[in-house]
Structure 1
Amino acid sequence: MLGLLFGFAIVHSGGAALRPWAEKHIGCRLYRIIFAFSSLPLAVILIIYFFNHRYDGLQLWYVQNLPGVQPFVWVLSAISFLFLYPATFNLLEIAAIQKPQVHLFETGIIRITRHPQMVGQIIWCVAHTLWLGTSFTLVTSIGLVLHHLFGVWHGDRRLSDRYGEAYAQVKQRTSIMPFAAILEGRQSILWQEFLRPSYLGVAIFVLLLWWSHPLLLEATSKIEL
């Protein structure tokens, strides 16, 4: 699993590092397509492998039969997706329908944390490691968190190289730790920024995931990985 995570990290973070050079030589849309078709298959393999081996290794703890644990895990998972897929992402750019661009966002969930994907991944890992309690899940979570912590440094460096002083000012007004900039008075939450269709889309996605979760586990179990 660590090998798969390391391979995905090289392709995903390496592709992100090559973005300025690639966009200059092959264009924004072609870069986005190559990046997506390189990263997505590896992500799908990781998900299937995780589903199929989630109970491998040692059973470090077992809390699934304790009252309240299942709804707690689902609430944490739902919160994690609000961070993993923030409304600042432009789906049309991701699909290369619109010209993909690098944005300097400072609204919505970015007011809470400058790196929402890292926060969402940590919450997701805590929820699933608590629920499954296996050494395999613990190792997987450690690998995912380390990759996203690297992504914090990598993302800040790339945006600093691209935007210079403008991004330095954004860093002054935001924080990596959730709510830290708000508690320190450097930032404030504007709740109306969260009233966007994309957040409704995330909520619907979570409900569909909850409904289809058994079907996904059954489907992936039929794939030998």
Structure 2
Amino acid sequence: MNLPVWLTPSHFIILGLLLGFAIAHSGLAAWRTSAEKLIGARLYRVIFALVSLPIAVVLVIYFFNHRYDGAQLWQVQGVPGVGNFVWIVSAISFLFLYPATFNLLEIAAIQKPQVHLFETGIIRITRHPQMVGQVLWCIAHTLWIGTSFTLFTSIGLVLHHLFGVWHGDRRLQSRYGEAFEVVKSRTSIVPFLAMVRGQQTFKISEFLRPSYLGVAIFIIALWYSHPLLISSTGRVNW
């Protein structure tokens, strides 16, 4: 059976790359408890980064270089207000995507990396902020680009993060037991649902911290460097 003309090989390649990243990322996360006992938390973090980051870089480059592959499902780039909407949603997505990067010394393995169980800050809004951030990013970029390739990429990313919700809760349950059940009962996966139910309250003071200023600076820098990023990835012949 002949495949549709628009279904280019890049559609399958990006799904394969996403699957490889998901297996490496989630597999290493599942191995964390045992690995830290064997090789220590710092060496585990280094191995995790050395495996995950190169695959992530390949994914980003490949996505940028093929984002307009396949069928053009819709075209809204000339519609007034859409560009601003996309940038606003993208900026909000990074506020959810990067709370895990706040402990930079742990990420760099300078301090001993730890698994944290807390329910403050953005966790009051959603227990899985990275999933929410990824969904928002996918909505914004799929709307803006409007191609079948971008839609395939977004579906793959969202499925991976939905699996991460289950996998992350399972790992926290295994590590913390009843303490996690208490946090789980007071938080929600769906943004703001715990607040609507009266289980959480929004505290603006928890967001007034240097880490969020860092995220804001990153968003502004990304705004201005976006054309440079696209042109740089375009020089890689993938």
Query: Normalising by structure 2, what TM-score?
Result: 0.93
State the partner residue of 2:129.
116
Identity fraction in percent: 75
C-alpha distance in structure 2 between counterparts of 1:160 and 1:171, whole Å: 9
Mapped contact 1:88–1:108 kept (Cα < 8 A): no
State the partner residue of 1:105.
118
State the partner residue of 1:158.
171
**Correspondence 1:35 to 2:48:** yes
Query: Following superposition, which runs of at least 4 residues in structure 1 exceed 6 angstroms of deviation?
Result: none
State the partner residue of 1:170.
183
Mapped contact 1:87–1:198 kept (Cα < 8 A): no
Q: Which of these residues, 206, 222, 225, is aligned with residue 219 of structure 2? A: 206
Taking a change above 3 Å as real, the CA distance of residues 50 and 68 of structure 1, as seen in their structure-2 partners, is same
C-alpha distance in structure 1 between counterparts of 2:80 and 2:20, whole Å: 38
**Correspondence 1:186 to 2:192:** no
Equivalent residue pairs, number: 225
State the partner residue of 2:3.
none
User: 2:70 corresponds to which letter in structure 1?
Assistant: G
Deviation of residue 31 (structure 1)?
A: 0.2
Deviation of residue 88 (structure 1)?
A: 7.3
Mapped contact 1:121–1:145 kept (Cα < 8 A): yes
User: 1:2 corresponds to which letter in structure 2?
Assistant: L
Q: Secondary structure at the match of 2:99?
A: coil
Q: Secondary structure at the match of 1:56?
A: coil
Aligned alpha-carbon RMSD (Å): 0.8
User: 2:177 corresponds to which letter in structure 1?
Assistant: G
Deviation of residue 89 (structure 1)?
A: 3.4
Q: Secondary structure at the match of 2:132?
A: helix
Q: Which of these residues, 70, 85, 105, is aligned with residue 72 of structure 1? A: 85
State the partner residue of 2:31.
18
User: 1:94 corresponds to which letter in structure 2?
Assistant: I
Q: Which structure 2 segments of 5+ residues have no match? A: 1-13
Q: Which structure 1 segments of 5+ residues have no match? A: none
C-alpha distance in structure 1 between counterparts of 2:94 and 2:51, whole Å: 23
Residue deviations 1:8-43, cap 9 Å, x none? 000000000000010000000000000000000000
Query: Normalising by structure 1, what TM-score?
Result: 0.99
C-alpha distance in structure 1 between counterparts of 2:189 and 2:100, whole Å: 18
Deviation of residue 224 (structure 1)?
A: 1.3
Mapped contact 2:101–2:107 kept (Cα < 8 A): no
